[in-house]
Amino acid sequence: MMKEGALLIGLLNPFPNRDQVADYAKRKLVALSMELVPRISRAQAMDALSSQSNLAGYKAVIDAASAFGRVFPMMMTAAGTVAPAKVLVLGAGVAGLQAIATARRLGAVVSAFDVRPAVKQEVESLGASFVEVEAEEEAATAGGYAKEMSEDYKRRQSEAIHQALVKSDVVVTTALIPGRPAPLLITAAMVADMKPGSVIVDMAVESGGNCELSEYGATVEKHGVTILGPANLPASLAAATSGLYARNLLNVLGLMIDQENGALEVPWDDEIIAGMLLTRDGAVVHPRLRPEA
């Protein structure tokens, strides 16, 4: 229904929707994906993935606390002491760091794992302990995202996560690799070894899931463990996430609108616009989405 040559800007999820990207080109739309905003300082106010992930990380912990049959903080009463919940966060990107901060605010004892050693300081600055697995290879892309690791690293990673899981009461998984299925971090056998009554919130379920037993859009119980697979978690905080997303879009439009006459003038050579651009002049132009890629 869009007219040829129209400018389309949005969360377009291009990598799993390559046929739709091809249709943008066929319709001669100029399509810009908000998921592809470069991770540079100048673009931070346009980074929709970060704004949405930040609130999603918060909500994941709130949902976990609701599903957990006990309390998060230590409570000392005349009738005895209630031990604090032990929370494990897998992935220390924007969502993971917010999950850590929220769990700490609720009084939990928190630990976190990430393939990128560089985030250790950020994790510890929030009061969590870092589950470390030594790697001889670089664990992050140039854009700061986690990347696929070697099989040897994955084996050692699995062992470290398994050991941390059996000690945990609540687990929040946030690990994603852009353009690829979510890495499997928690197997069915690991879930079987967890404490009865434990809770897992799989924030990566829309991309295949970090937990083998999670189900998209459903809450299930396996081996005595409650596993949440929330669909579109940011939508459960619609007022806040919509407000932040609107600001992200407004800042992108600020690059394109002439401040004096209000005319639309897309700066094609701007690195932010170039990084977001999917289709133009009837062709797929993003290097990772071209037919030969």
Catalytic residue among 18, 104, 129, 145: 145
Catalytic residue among 18, 39, 70, 104: 39
Whether 39 sits among the annotated catalytic residues: the reply is yes
User: What tokens appear for 128 in the block?
Assistant: 């969590």
Whether 44 sits among the annotated catalytic residues: the reply is yes
| Integer CA distances (angstroms), 281 to 6, 24, 234, 237, 264, in order | 11, 10, 33, 37, 17
Order of strands, sheet of 170-173, starting from the edge strand that comes earlier in the sequence: 129-131, 109-113, 86-90, 170-173, 199-202, 225-229, 218-222
Residue entry with tokens 């699995």: 158
Catalytic residue among 20, 23, 42, 44: 44
Whether 121 sits among the annotated catalytic residues: the reply is no
Catalytic residue among 24, 47, 114, 157: 47
Please state the separation of Cα 227 from the chain's center in Å.
18
The single-letter DSSP state of residue 83 is P
Whether 153 sits among the annotated catalytic residues: the reply is no
Catalytic residue among 24, 33, 50, 111: 50
By the 8 A CB rule, do 214 and 202 touch?
A: yes
**What's the full length of the chain, in residues?**
293
| Integer CA distances (angstroms), 19 to 12, 142, 284, in order | 12, 27, 11
Whether 216 sits among the annotated catalytic residues: the reply is no
d(CA 212, CA 184) in angstroms, rounded, equals 7
Active site residues: 39, 44, 47, 50, 145
